[in-house]
Amino acid sequence: MVAAQPRAQDLVYIAIMELPNDLIKEILVRLPLKDILSYKCVCREWYMLISNPNFTTYYAQHSPFTTIFLDQYHFCTKSLSLLEFSPNGDFTQIRIKPKIPEFQDINSNGVTIIGSCDGWLFLLYHAYRPCYLDDRVIDKIYFCNPLFERCVEIAQDRSPWGDLDYKVGYIPSTNNYKLLRILYNRNRVEEAKIFTIGVDKDWRIVEDPFTFWEPGSDYEGVCFNGAYHWVTDNENLDNICTFDLLEEKCSAIPNPPGLLPFSSENVKLTILSDRLSVVDYSDCSQMNIWTMEKYGVAESWFRNISILESWIPHQKHLINFLPIAVLRNGNLIFSQMYPGNSYYFSLGKKQCTPFMFLNVDGLVGETMYENAFGPRFYSLEGIESGGQ
Amino acid sequence: MVTTDEKGPLTAKKKSVIIRSCDGDEFLVSESAAVLSTSLKKILEEKEDRLIHLSDIDNKTLAMVIAYLSTHADDGLSDDLKRSFDQEFVSGKEFDVLKYLVLATDTLQVTCLCYTVAKKMADIMKNKLVEWVRREFDIQNDYTPEAEAEIRRLDAWAWDDRQLEDD
């Protein structure tokens, strides 16, 4: 308390003091993940403080660390980890082992990553059944919070023959997660189904025909602001295509000005500092990163950063580099394809250096999937019941 | 209401305020430094009184906060110099001292110092035993051994291969 007038009792020095929870929170959000989790054991009050969703929100705004989810592959061994980066590029690799009920070892084949979204990890498990029972495959989808081990089955489906693509997205306005399942036939969308986690009992057919959807690489699109975004190669369209997960309809938002031709060959989408961003590769000597400051507003696109080819290692191609996260000091983490690897980019030094991540065998494995990851310190309750 | 235009010449006169700690010692502080604290700024806006008494901040802590405020109010110092001052300011300080300091930043509402001290405290707390944390924060363990074991089991990986420190 601040008092303007002195009072007699104020002059007594108070030796015992307890920090209010707001200050404890200020300190805890600046700790590495492992410390935050283990300090839940300090006392019940700290447990409540850390498990409260407000803490996760506050952590996202104030933590000095940036976390990346990483899926590595090496000689049939899969290894999942979280990489916790300090602003200076130092990182801690935390191995995670989600436990799927039917499946003892997540690291063997059969389990693939659908994606990570908002602190959750979505896994796909192909459960092959003996052919005399059914010649089709049962797909089971699980989700887990990688900070905890428990996996929960959220949906299953008999997968039809054909190429399947799963997407997962979060709708902030309703606090729901939806799964999108797209079936292709000869590079055309044959059928799209949707499933609201915790709400739907079964998959529903999406009415929208997905005319401009292109099956493509792992980098084809991003989920942001309750919509899935992708770049189409259709010549008649020079916007960013969207599928609004709430309305369950395709639409479009404006692309950055003057980017022609706007096609998936020279443009990729990413999320940087919680903003939709476009990476333009049309100039082979440099990569231009555009950021949409205000979602949906065409005038708010601005050219954020340009990366010259001379800043990346020799014999590497800019087109294979995609920025996936911004560290607290503005430096970037790049994901590289062919071969899969990650790079730290220092804006000050204008230099891109590769990381060495070891897989479970202690070998340098190829990166299969990596994504910026926002840790959440509370468990699965909530999402299972439809986010209520 | 004082408009921004009128405020300019007012601060230029380098008015001072007297701040008294709970130990009774008084510190003369320039008004430009004092107003970096949101709480002090509010008091100065409401009262003509140039003497402010802080009933729960001791001498040692108050002296530190005032040194911080005065440095940050100095227009002659560059942002880089202020940043390195901040680093120097918290380095080498004991955990207990930082606890009083962070509490004072809360009372006085000096957000940037609060963040700097909280960061330093977090740096010291890294990789420590739970028992160390309880001791330093003067917290009683209110878990039953079973309840504590259950929490440790659920977050098993957080306890893997850790070389924890207890000093």
Looking at the complex, report in whole angstroms how far the Cα of residue B159 sits from the nearest Cα belonging to chain A.
Answer: 7
Between the ranges A197-206, A333-342, A361-370, B11-20, where is the mean pLDDT highest?
A: A197-206
Looking at the complex, report in whole angstroms how far the Cα of residue A153 sits from the nearest Cα belonging to chain B.
Answer: 19
* Beta-bridge partner residues of A93: A83
Question: How far from chain centre, in Å, is Cα B77?
Answer: 21
SS3 call for B59:
helix
- pLDDT tens sequence across A254-273: 999 888 778 888 899 999 99
User: CATH top-level class for B9-158?
Assistant: alpha beta
- pLDDT tens sequence across A92-112: 888 888 877 766 655 555 778
Domain coordinates in residue numbering, chain B: 9-158
Mean of pLDDT values over B43-65 = 87
Pairing state between β B16-20 and B51-54: parallel
In this predicted structure, what is the pLDDT of residue B6? Answer: 40
Residues of chain A with pLDDT > 70, as a percent, come to 84
Q: Among A42-56, A109-123, A187-201, A352-366, which is the least confidently predicted range?
A: A352-366
What's the mean pLDDT when you consider all of chain B? 86
Q: Which residue of A has its CA nearest to B52?
A: A4
**B86 membership: H or E segment, kind and range:** helix B79-90
In this predicted structure, what is the pLDDT of residue A11? Answer: 37
Nearest-angstrom CA–CA distance, A325 and A215: 24
**A57 membership: H or E segment, kind and range:** helix A53-62
* Residue with more model confidence, B113 or A107: B113
Q: Does B115 touch chain A (CB under 8 A)?
A: yes
Task: Provide the ipTM.
Answer: 0.87
CB pairs < 8 Å spanning A and B:
129
Best residue in A41, A92, A94 to probe B by mutation, most B CBs within 10 Å? A41
Pairing state between β A275-280 and A286-292: antiparallel
Q: Does B101 touch chain A (CB under 8 A)?
A: no
Q: Among A100-109, A359-368, B81-90, which is the least confidently predicted range?
A: A100-109
Nearest CB neighbour to B22, from listed A11, A19, A94: A11
What does pTM read for this prediction? 0.85
Mean of pLDDT values over A240-267 = 88
* Residue with more model confidence, A126 or A43: A43
Does the pLDDT of residue A147 top 80, yes or no? Answer: yes
Q: Residue A370 in contact with residue A360, Cβ under 8 Å?
A: no
Best residue in B45, B47, B55, B123 to probe A by mutation, most A CBs within 10 Å? B55
Q: Does B54 touch chain A (CB under 8 A)?
A: yes
Looking at the complex, report in whole angstroms how far the Cα of residue A4 sits from the nearest Cα belonging to chain B.
Answer: 5
Banded pLDDT at A129 (limits 50, 70, 90): low
Nearest CB neighbour to A20, from listed B24, B106, B122: B106
- DSSP assignment letter at A318: G
In this predicted structure, what is the pLDDT of residue A382? Answer: 52
In this predicted structure, what is the pLDDT of residue B2? Answer: 38
Banded pLDDT at A183 (limits 50, 70, 90): confident
| Residue given tokens 């100095």 in the structure block | B74
- pLDDT tens sequence across A11-44: 334 444 678 999 999 999 999 999 999 999 999 9
Banded pLDDT at A383 (limits 50, 70, 90): low
* Residue with more model confidence, A137 or A174: A174
SS3 call for A77:
strand
Q: Residue B137 and residue A33: Cβ atoms within 8 Å?
A: no
Q: Which of residues 77-96 of B touch A (CB under 8 A)?
A: none
Q: Residue B19 in contact with residue B26, Cβ under 8 Å?
A: yes
* Residue with more model confidence, A98 or A78: A98
Banded pLDDT at B55 (limits 50, 70, 90): confident
In this predicted structure, what is the pLDDT of residue A212? Answer: 75
In this predicted structure, what is the pLDDT of residue A300? Answer: 96
Nearest-angstrom CA–CA distance, A258 and A268: 15
Nearest CB neighbour to B162, from listed A2, A34, A47: A34
Q: Residue A26 and residue B115: Cβ atoms within 8 Å?
A: yes
Q: Does B60 touch chain A (CB under 8 A)?
A: no
In this predicted structure, what is the pLDDT of residue A57? Answer: 93
Q: Residue A2 and residue B100: Cβ atoms within 8 Å?
A: no
A354 Cβ contact list (under 8 Å, min separation 6) = A313, A336, A341, A342, A343
Does the pLDDT of residue B107 top 60, yes or no? Answer: yes
Looking at the complex, report in whole angstroms how far the Cα of residue A94 sits from the nearest Cα belonging to chain B.
Answer: 8
Banded pLDDT at A132 (limits 50, 70, 90): low
In this predicted structure, what is the pLDDT of residue A358? Answer: 74
What is the dihedral angle through the alpha carbons of A64, A68, A74, A76, rounded to the nearest 10 degrees? 130
